Chains A and B, each alone.
Chain A
Amino acid sequence: MAEIVFRQALRDSVDEVLEKMFFAETLGEASGPDKVGDTLTVELAFEGEPSGSMCLRLTGDAAREIAADFLGTEGAEISIGQISEVVRELANMICGSVLSRVESAATFHLGVPRIVACCEQCAESPWNTCFRAQLSHGRLTVNIAAGTTKCPQPVQSAY
Chain B
Amino acid sequence: MAYRVLIVDDSPAMRTFVRRVIAMSGFEMSNYFEASNGGEALDLLRREWVDAILTDINMPEMDGQEFLRRLAEDEVLRSIPAIVISTDATMHRIAVMTSLGARGYVTKPFLPETLRTELERTWGVPCG
Q: Which residues of A contact B (CB under 8 A)?
A: 16-17, 19-21, 67, 70-72, 82, 85-86, 88-89, 92-93, 95-97, 99-100, 103-110, 112
Interface check B87, CB cutoff 8 A:
yes
Chain A residue with the shortest CB-CB distance to B92: A107
Measured CA separation A108–B57 after assembly (Å): 12
**Do the beta carbons of A96 and B11 come within 8 Å of each other?**
no
Measured CA separation A82–B15 after assembly (Å): 12
Chain A residues with CB under 8 A of B110: 20-21
**Do the beta carbons of B17 and A92 come within 8 Å of each other?**
no
Say yes or no: A97-B13 contact (C-beta < 8 A), given A105-B92, A108-B90. no
Interface check B98, CB cutoff 8 A:
no
Q: Could you list 5 examples of A-B contacts with CB < 8 Å?
A: A88-B13, A89-B13, A93-B87, A93-B109, A96-B88
Those of B91-128 within 8 Å (CB) of chain A = 91-93, 107-111
Report the number of A-B residue pairs with Cβ-Cβ less than 8 Å.
Answer: 71
Measured CA separation A86–B11 after assembly (Å): 8
**Do the beta carbons of A71 and B91 come within 8 Å of each other?**
no
Chain B residues with CB under 8 A of A86: 13
